[in-house]
C-alpha cells in the first residue's frame, strides 16, 4: 500500500484505463478524475470509480485534486496529453509506445527533462514474474550475447477501421503495438546497450484481404475494404549493439506459423527462455561435474501480482518518494523508439540504418549505411 495521498486522473477510459484505475485503488491511491471523448466511456468510469469526468484532458490536468496522470489513449495523442500534464505540474505514466513517431517521442523527452514531475512509460512486461526471476539470476548467465525476441500471433489483426490500423493515429502496426514490448524487453535484459545498426523488413500482407481467416474473431467485424489499413502486420528485424551483442526480432499480428511469445537469452555461462509476460522461466546450462552434461532448471513465479500491477505500484511508489524513476524511464523508451524508427527506415530504403549518438561524428559512420541521428 502507498502511504501517501495521491490523486490520479486517467485519460483514455477504455479497457486499459480501467485496468490502471483498479490497480491505483488497490495500492491505496485515489482515482479522482477521468477523461474520454466518448460519453458512454465517461459514464461507465464515473459509475465504477466515483470519479468526476472530462470530455478532454485539458480540464483533467489542471484539476486541483489530480497529482498524477495515466495516459492510455491512441499513440498520436500521447504527446499533447503528456506534455500538458507535465507542464501543469503532474506526474505521468504514459502507455507504450512513448509516441507514434520518433520526433514526437523526442518532444516528450524534452518536456520530461524540464518538468518537475516524473514521467514513466508503460512497459509492464519488465515486471512479470518471468523477468523478475531473470533479474535475480543475472549473475548466473555471464555475458549476454544475443536475445531472440518473438511476439507473433497466427491470426490477431485488430481489424481494419480501428485506430490500431490507422497510421495517423498509431504511427505503425504490429511493430508499434506488440513488437515494441519485445524490443524493450530485449534491451532491458541487456541493460540498454548502445545500439549502432538496425536492419528490418515490415510487411503488410493480410489486412486488405477480404478472405482473411479470423477464427478467434480478433478483428471483430472484418472489413478488408477499409481505407484505414495502412500499417504493417508483421516485422522481421536484426539489431546490432556497439559491444557486438545482438537482438533478433519477429513481431506479427498475423502470419502462417504457430503463435509465439518466446523469449530466449543467450549468455556465456547459461541461457534463459520464457514467454513474454509469463510466470515461468527455464535456465539452460552445461557442465563437466561427474561427466559432461546439460542442466535445465525450471523456475515458477508467483502469479498473484501481474506485470501491470507491479508497474503501477512502482509508479505510485516513485511519485510518493519524490525521486527520479529507476525503471520505465523516458530515456529508455526513447531508445526503443529509435530502434522502431530505424526498422521502418530500413524497410523503406532496403538498407541497414546506423544509429549514432550525438558525440559520434558523421564522418565515422559506415558510408554504405543510412544514418538515424540520436538527439535528446
| Residue 226 within any structural domain of the chain | yes
Structure confidence by residue, pLDDT tens digits, 311-353: 999 999 999 999 999 999 999 999 999 999 999 999 999 999 9
> Does residue 108 sit in the same domain as residue 148?
no
> Does residue 152 sit in the same domain as residue 175?
yes
Taking the C-alpha atoms of residue 57 and residue 84, their distance in angstroms, rounded to an integer, is 9
Element (H, E) at 314: helix 307-321
User: What's residue 129's pLDDT?
Assistant: 96
| Residue 368 within any structural domain of the chain | no
Structure confidence by residue, pLDDT tens digits, 261-307: 999 999 999 999 999 999 999 999 999 999 999 999 999 998 887 99
> Does residue 341 sit in the same domain as residue 234?
yes
User: What's residue 360's pLDDT?
Assistant: 36
> Does residue 91 sit in the same domain as residue 158?
no
281 SS3 class: strand
> Does residue 106 sit in the same domain as residue 146?
no
| Residue 309 within any structural domain of the chain | no
Please, are residues 32 and 8 in contact by the beta-carbon 8 Å criterion? yes
User: What's residue 330's pLDDT?
Assistant: 98
> Does residue 41 sit in the same domain as residue 182?
no
> Does residue 87 sit in the same domain as residue 165?
no
Please, are residues 319 and 67 in contact by the beta-carbon 8 Å criterion? yes
Hunting for cell 561524428 — which residue is that?
Answer: 361
| Residue 319 within any structural domain of the chain | no
| Residue 342 within any structural domain of the chain | yes
> Does residue 342 sit in the same domain as residue 235?
yes
Task: Assess whether pLDDT exceeds 90 at residue 5.
Answer: yes
> Does residue 72 sit in the same domain as residue 182?
no
Please, are residues 357 and 340 in contact by the beta-carbon 8 Å criterion? no
The pLDDT mean for the chain works out to 92
Q: Where residue 136 sits, what CATH number does that domain have? A: 3.30.360.10
> Does residue 176 sit in the same domain as residue 91?
no
Confidence of residue 217 (pLDDT cuts 50, 70, 90): confident
- Kindly state the percentage of the chain with pLDDT values over 90: 84
> Does residue 23 sit in the same domain as residue 106?
yes
Q: Give the residue among 23, 19, 24, 22 at the shortest CA–CA distance from 6.
A: 24
| Residue 324 within any structural domain of the chain | no
CA distances from 21 to 11, 182, 314, 358 (A): 10, 25, 14, 39
Residue 55 is part of which domain span?
7-117
User: What's residue 357's pLDDT?
Assistant: 61
Confidence of residue 376 (pLDDT cuts 50, 70, 90): very low
Task: Assess whether pLDDT exceeds 50 at residue 154.
Answer: yes
What are the start-end ranges of the H helices in 90-200?
A: 102-114, 129-136, 167-170, 174, 180-189
**pTM of model > 0.75:** yes
Give the distance, in angstroms, between the CA of residue 189 and the centroid of all CA atoms in the same chain.
Answer: 14
Q: State how many domains the chain has.
A: 2
> Does residue 112 sit in the same domain as residue 167?
no
User: What's residue 367's pLDDT?
Assistant: 42
Sign of the CA dihedral with 202 first, then 208, 210, and 215 last: positive
Looking at residue 138, what DSSP letter applies? G
37: cell is: 471523448
Non-local CB neighbours of 107 within 8 Å, separated by 6+ positions: 79, 83, 99
Task: Assess whether pLDDT exceeds 90 at residue 228.
Answer: no
| Residue 148 within any structural domain of the chain | yes
Sign of the CA dihedral with 327 first, then 332, 333, and 336 last: negative
Structure confidence by residue, pLDDT tens digits, 230-271: 899 999 999 999 999 999 999 999 999 999 999 999 999 999
Task: Assess whether pLDDT exceeds 90 at residue 224.
Answer: no
Residues facing residue 258 across a β-bridge: none
Non-local CB neighbours of 367 within 8 Å, separated by 6+ positions: none
Domain boundary among 117, 141, 162: 117
| Residue 311 within any structural domain of the chain | no
Structure confidence by residue, pLDDT tens digits, 50-85: 999 999 999 999 999 999 999 999 999 999 999 999
Taking the C-alpha atoms of residue 137 and residue 66, their distance in angstroms, rounded to an integer, is 39
Q: Where residue 70 sits, what CATH number does that domain have? A: 3.40.50.720
Taking the C-alpha atoms of residue 343 and residue 198, their distance in angstroms, rounded to an integer, is 6
As a whole number, mean pLDDT of residues 129-151 equals 97
70: cell is: 495515466
Confidence of residue 365 (pLDDT cuts 50, 70, 90): very low
Q: Give the residue among 261, 229, 104, 252 at the shortest CA–CA distance from 164.
A: 229
User: What's residue 231's pLDDT?
Assistant: 93
336: cell is: 526503443
41: cell is: 466511456
Confidence of residue 221 (pLDDT cuts 50, 70, 90): low
Instruction: Kindly report which listed range (69-83, 89-103, 158-172) carries the lowest average pLDDT score.
Output: 158-172
Amino acid at each position: 500500500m502507498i502511504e501517501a495521498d495521491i490523486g490520479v486522473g486517467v485519460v483514455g477510459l477504455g479497457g486499459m484505463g480501467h485496468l490502471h484505475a483498479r490497480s491505483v485503488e488497490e495500492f491505496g491511491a485515489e482515482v479522482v478524475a477521468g477523461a474520454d471523448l466518448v460519453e458512454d466511456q465517461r459514464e461507465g468510469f464515473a459509475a465504477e470509480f466515483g470519479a468526476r469526468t472530462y470530455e478532454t484532458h485539458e480540464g483533467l490536468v489542471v484539476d486541483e485534486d489530480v497529482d498524477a496522470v495515466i495516459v492510455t489513449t491512441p499513440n498520436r495523442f500521447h504527446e499533447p496529453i503528456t506534455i500538458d500534464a507535465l507542464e501543469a505540474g503532474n506526474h505521468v505514466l504514459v502507455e507504450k509506445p512513448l509516441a507514434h513517431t520518433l520526433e514526437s517521442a523526442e518532444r516528450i523527452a524534452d518536456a520530461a527533462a524540464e518538468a518537475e514531475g516524473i514521467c514513466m512509460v508503460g512497459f509492464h512486461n519488465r515486471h512479470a514474474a518471468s523477468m523478475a526471476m531473470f533479474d535475480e539470476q543475472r549473475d548466473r548467465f555471464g555475458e549476454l550475447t544475443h536475445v531472440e525476441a518473438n511476439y507473433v500471433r497466427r491470426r490477431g489483426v485488430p481489424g481494419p477501421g480501428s485506430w490500431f490500423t490507422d497510421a495517423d493515429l498509431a504511427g505503425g502496426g504490429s511493430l508499434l503495438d506488440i513488437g515494441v514490448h519485445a524490443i524493450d524487453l530485449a534491451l532491458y535484459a541487456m541493460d540498454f546497450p548502445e545500439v549502432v545498426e538496425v536492419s528490418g523488413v515490415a510487411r503488410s500482407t493480410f489486412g486488405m484481404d477480404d478472405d482473411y481467416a479470423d477464427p478467434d474473431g480478433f478483428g471483430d467485424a472484418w472489413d478488408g475494404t477499409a481505407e484505414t489499413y495502412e500499417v504493417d502486420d508483421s516485422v522481421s528485424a536484426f539489431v546490432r549493439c556497439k559491444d557486438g551483442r545482438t537482438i533478433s526480432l519477429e513481431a506479427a499480428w498475423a502470419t502462417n506459423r504457430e503463435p509465439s511469445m518466446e523469449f530466449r537469452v543467450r549468455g556465456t555461462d547459461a541461457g534463459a527462455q520464457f514467454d513474454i509476460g509469463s510466470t515461468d522461466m527455464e535456465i539452460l546450462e552445461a557442465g563437466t561435474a561427474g561427466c559432461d552434461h546439460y542442466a535445465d532448471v525450471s523456475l515458477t513465479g508467483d502469479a498473484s501480482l501481474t506485470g501491470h500491477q507491479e508497474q503501477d505500484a512502482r509508479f505510485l511508489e516513485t511519485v510518493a518518494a519524490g525521486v527520479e524513476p529507476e525503471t520505465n524511464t523516458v530515456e529508455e523508451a526513447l531508445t526503443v523508439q529509435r530502434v522502431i524508427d530505424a526498422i521502418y527506415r530500413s524497410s523503406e530504403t532496403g538498407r541497414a540504418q546506423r544509429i549514432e549518438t550525438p558525440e559520434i561524428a558523421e564522418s565515422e559512420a559506415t558510408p554504405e549505411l543510412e544514418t538515424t541521428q540520436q538527439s535528446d
